[in-house]
Chain A
Amino acid sequence: MEFSLLTIIFSLMAYGAAVVFVFGVLCRIMVYAKTPSPLKIPTTPAPTTTFGAMIRVLSEVLLFRSLYKGNKWTWLGGVVFHWAFLLVVLRHLRYFLYPLPAWDMSLQGIGIIAGIILPIAVLYLLMRRTTVDRTVFISSLADYFALTLIFFIAGTGLMMKFYERPFMVDIKGFVYGLATFNFSAVPTDPVFLVHFTLVMILLAYFPYSKLVHAPGIFFSPTRNQADNPRESRHVTPWSPNLT
């Protein structure tokens, strides 16, 4: 079977982005994991057990607990944005899974709603960023870039869903083919090609930008350490022992 140049380019791009993403994220995680935490520095009051600290980290990851304390409006935007993003990603698993499992099937409806909410949440976050003098001061190109990129990804996605409607089976064939090394031609719909390219840019950008906050939060010592320094001696890997 012959493949068009377009298919070859897009296939290579997809693999390139995937490798950069996986390799980049793994590298980050390795560096974080390897770097020692010489002292006990949980922000207290903190849980006194490791299990408690795990729950604390989860409450940050899933509910953004500290941000809730910090700024209710940013929290609202942040939670809606991240949950919508997660649901949209889960919905997209249907391009990788065959046959489609029931749980993913049941997420399709809510996934669409999330897809509509996502760009709205992005606009809301952008609005906050550009209207509060303090966030204007601290925001930089990278902050606008990440939000804008996601906005256009969501936008092109929605265009395909509600307006363009390229042939779903072709898309699934292409993506599923990439995932299983059973290649098929890339759909030529321009909106799809833009959407796909932007996602690849996001993937490749992820490990080398502030987006590493996603794996990074699990390594934040002020959140993941248990508050038990008197009960169990925390040993510093690079400090000599006293007698």
Chain B
Amino acid sequence: MAKVKFEVPELTGEIAIPGLKEDAAAAVKSHNAPAKDMTDLGFPTELVPDWKEKAVAKFAELLKKYRSLKVFMDICVKCGACTDKCHFYLGTKDPRNMPVARAELLRKVYRRYFTTAGKVLGKLAEAEDLTREVMEEWYTYFYQCTECRRCSLFCPYGIDTAEITMAAREIMDTVGLGAKYPLQTINKAITIGNNLGMPGPAIRSTLDFMEEDVKEQTGVPVKFPMDVKGADVLLITPSADFFATPHVESLAGYAKVFHQAGISWTLSSYASEAGNFGMFNGNYEHMRKIAGRIKVAINELKPKRLIHGECGHAWRVAYSFWNTLIGPFDSLDPKYPAPQHICEFTYDLINRGALKLDKTANDDFVVTFHDSCNVARASRMGNSPGGQFEIPRAIIRATCNKFVDMHPDTIREKTFCCGAGGGLLADEIIDLRIKGVMPRMQAYKAVKDSHGANFFALICAICKAQFTKVFPYYGYEMEEVGGVHQLVSRAIVLGGKEGI
């Protein structure tokens, strides 16, 4: 299928720790952002003449604003525990994709401008001037990090390279060095309201289409409401759910669950995006602006509950940051968590016996579940730690007869990223994405061989897009990729309201 031939890692079912291959990924670069997006977002369109001073000043500002950055710059002891944990190192073999080496790119500049030893001793204290070359290195390797936090899990000090990547990107943006895919996405989300740049009427017409489709398939008039004032639930979901495959299948799942539960719900055309790429580039204001649209939608539509669709980083922003960014949610019904994940919602209904699920509808499938990294390591579902692992699995088990987990070192908190989060779902770096997904593919291959797994269940819009794209490179069908609520959608028995 591919025009360009890439070196696709061989599938063995094992994840081997490779030897170092310096500069193996040095040539992989995201495209620069167009001038228009840079300007719209308040950044210079190209490297400003006094970029060095500006960059150091921005760095200083961030060090004062974020304890994480400040502490993480200081306390790494180079123990090496993180060196074999990043999917990009495992996939590309490039030593600068080892989390500590990635962080070191920023740290050496930190030492030069912000520590006495670095100022006095220079290279001897591993300090380095901020030069064009260093900045290029930043651009390369800080756009080879999906901010998945796998490194932070294993670090004795919890050093989270994601925080460091975010800071580096923010510094680069400020001096005029931005990457196209994340910044364009941020711009669309701020100005149009969703990452795909789709206006409200376009969304409405796909929703109409879905209503017809579901009616045709099931005979039941399941509604896909938008901009309904006073609905019980406001659903915020990634815009990919409206247009992309297999994302739409999960949207159908949500709609059927609401229908069956007899709970009125609505989407918002103004806040038609759960995703928040503002986080990826470390810009607090962008993140707040994108989330701010949801606050407006709440004020306008006056829902009682706020429910969130299937998306990994978006759930991180929603769960961990919304209350800070756009809270408090005083107008919502305090009986329910705000926001609530659609999986929490469905799980609750299943537990109360409010949904009738026919597992045999999914008998064609041997299902396995990919814990999205942002859900696994940066958020929670349910009331106790780790609910984010149990709840989606419980839903899957309730909707199919055959479920198998992948190798324990590759799931739950130790899950491997899909290789395209963090603003890396860009076409020009497909080579990197193919290599980054390698550890996950090995784990999938293993359960394919042992259990015949053939359905790869997800709760993340980016994961869905990435896996449908890379599966064929590895020789798998993209139809094997789907959402957890896609399984729900297939299994749910509509009609004969049983109430809640």
- B is bound to A: yes
Tell me the B99-139 residues at the A interface (CB within 8 Å).
100-101, 104, 115-117, 124-126
Cross-chain contact B117 with A32 (CB below 8 angstroms) = no
Once bound together, how far apart are the Cα atoms of A134 and B67, in whole Å?
28
Q: Contacts A39-B320, A212-B74 hold; do A135 and B67 have CB atoms under 8 A apart? A: no
A229 to B329, CA, bound (A): 12
**A233 CB contact (under 8 Å) in B82, B126, B328, B384:** B328
Interfacial chain B residues near A60, Cβ < 8 Å: 156-158
Cβ–Cβ < 8 Å partners of A50 in chain B: none
Q: Tell me, yes or no, whether A109 is within 8 Å of chain B by CB.
A: no
Bound complex: CA of A129 vs CA of B414, how far in Å? 25
B residues near A41, Cβ cutoff 8 Å: 68, 160, 163, 320, 378
Q: A35-B64, A35-B66, A66-B158 are in contact. Are A48 and B75 (CB under 8 A)?
A: no
Measured CB to CB, the nearest residue on chain B to A24 is: B116
A222 to B78, CA, bound (A): 18
Question: Which residue in B292, B319, B378 is a CB contact (below 8 Å) of A230?
Answer: B319
For window 168-215 of chain A, which residues contact chain B by CB distance below 8 Å? 208-210, 212-213
Q: Roughly how many angstroms separate A212 CA and B157 CA in the complex, as a whole number? A: 11
Q: From A83-91, A139-147, A149-157, give the one contacting chain B.
A: A139-147
Identify which of B66, B83, B154, B288 contacts A239 (C-beta below 8 A).
B288
Binary contact readout A111-150 vs B (1 if CB under 8 angstroms, 0 otherwise): 0000000000000000011001111011111110000000
When distances are taken between beta carbons in the complex, the residues of chain A under 8 Å from B72 are 220
User: Is the pair A36, B67 in contact by a Cβ cutoff of 8 Å?
Assistant: yes
- Checking B81, B84, B95, B124 against A67 with a beta-carbon cut-off of 8 angstroms, the contacting residue is B81
Among A69-77, A100-108, A158-166, the stretch in contact with B:
A69-77
- What residues of chain A lie closer than 8 Å to B386, measured between beta carbons? 45
The answer, yes or no, to whether A235 is at the interface (CB within 8 Å) is yes
Cβ contact of B152, chosen from A37, A222, A234, cutoff 8 A: A222
A44 to B157, CA, bound (A): 14
Question: CB distance B81 to A220 under 8 Å?
Answer: no
Q: Which residues of B contact A227 (CB under 8 A)?
A: 380, 385
B79 CB contact (under 8 Å) in A28, A67, A216, A223: A67
A234→B323 CA distance, assembly (Å): 7
Contact of B71 among A32, A67, A140, A210 (CB under 8 A): A32
CB <8 Å contact, B156 and A32 = no
With A138-B78, A234-B323 known to touch, is A220 a contact of B337 (CB < 8 Å)?
Answer: no
* Residues of A contacting B101 in the complex (Cβ-Cβ under 8 angstroms): 137-138
- Give the chain A neighbours of B321 by CB distance below 8 A: 39-40, 229
User: Is B284 on the interface with A (CB-CB < 8 A)?
Assistant: yes
The yes or no answer to A167 lying at the interface (CB within 8 A) is no
Query: B77 at interface (Cβ–Cβ under 8 A)?
Result: yes
Q: How far is the CB of A119 from chain B (nearest CB, A)?
A: 19
A74 near B320: Cβ-Cβ < 8 Å: no
Asked if A230 and B66 make an inter-chain contact with CB atoms under 8 angstroms apart, the answer reads no
Q: Give Cα A134 to B461, complex, Å.
A: 34
Question: Are A221 and B67 in contact, with the CB atoms below 8 A?
Answer: yes
Size range of the chain A interface in the assembly: 35 or more
Q: Which residues of A contact B389 (CB under 8 A)?
A: 45
Of A32, A69, A233, A234, the most chain B CB neighbours within 10 A belong to: A69
Q: Is the beta-carbon distance between B65 and A216 smaller than 8 angstroms?
A: no
User: 1/0 per position for B148-167, CB-CB distance to A under 8 A?
Assistant: 01001111111110010000
**Interface residues contributed by chain B, number (CB under 8 Å):** 73
The docked-state distance in angstroms from the alpha carbon of A75 to that of B80 is: 11
In this assembly, does B466 line the interface, its C-beta being within 8 Å of a C-beta of chain A? Answer: no
Q: Is the Cβ of B74 less than 8 Å from the Cβ of A216?
A: yes
Question: How far apart sit A117 and B67, CA to CA, in the bound complex (Å)?
Answer: 36
Least distance between A234 CB and chain B CB atoms (Å):
5
Most buried by B among A31, A45, A67, A71: A45
A41, A142, A236: residue with the most chain B Cβ atoms closer than 10 Å? A41
* B398 CB–A CB distance under 8 Å: no
The docked-state distance in angstroms from the alpha carbon of A21 to that of B479 is 62
Whether the pair B74, A210 counts as a contact (CB closer than 8 A) is: yes
Known: A141-B124, A212-B74, A220-B75. A44 touches B380 (CB 8 A): yes
Assess A70 versus B155: contact at CB under 8 Å? Given A134-B84, A220-B75.
yes
Min CB distance A59 to B, Å, is: 11
For A232, the closest partner residue in chain B by CB is B323
B71 touches A135 (CB 8 A): no
Asked whether any CB of chain A lies closer than 8 Å to the CB of B48, the reply is no
Q: Are B81 and A230 within 8 A (Cβ)?
A: no
Which residue of chain A has its CB nearest to the CB of B337? Answer: A230
Closest Cβ–Cβ distance, residue B90 to chain A (whole Å): 11
B85 at the interface (CB under 8 A from A): yes
CB of A38, distance to nearest CB on chain B (Å): 7
Q: Does B314 touch A at the CB level, under 8 Å?
A: no
Q: Are the CB atoms of A216 and B385 closer together than 8 Å?
A: no
Q: By the criterion CB–CB under 8 Å, are A239 and B379 in contact?
A: no
Question: Whole-angstrom distance between the alpha carbons of A66 and B85 in the complex?
Answer: 13
Q: Does B448 contact A (CB under 8 A)?
A: no
Chain A residues with CB under 8 Å of B64's CB are 35
Chain B residues with CB below 8 A from A222, complex form: 68, 149, 152, 158-160
Contacts of A128 in B (CB 8 A): 80
Contact A66 B66 (CB under 8 A): no
With contacts A35-B66, A233-B324, A238-B65 taken as known, whether A223 is within 8 angstroms of B163 at the C-beta atoms is no
Contacts of A223 in B (CB 8 A): 157-158
Which of the residues A32, A47, A213 comes within 8 Å of B77, measured between beta carbons?
A: A213
A132 touches B80 (CB 8 A): yes
A137's partner among B20, B63, B65, B159 (CB-CB below 8 A) is B20
Q: A220-B72, A222-B158 are in contact. List 11 more A-B contacts (CB 8 A).
A: A28-B74, A35-B64, A45-B386, A69-B154, A134-B95, A135-B83, A212-B74, A213-B157, A220-B159, A227-B385, A230-B339
The 3 closest A-B pairs by CB, nearest first: A70-B154, A70-B81, A45-B385
14 contacts between A and B (CB under 8 A): A35-B65, A41-B320, A41-B378, A47-B385, A60-B156, A60-B158, A135-B78, A138-B78, A138-B100, A217-B157, A222-B149, A229-B320, A234-B323, A242-B325
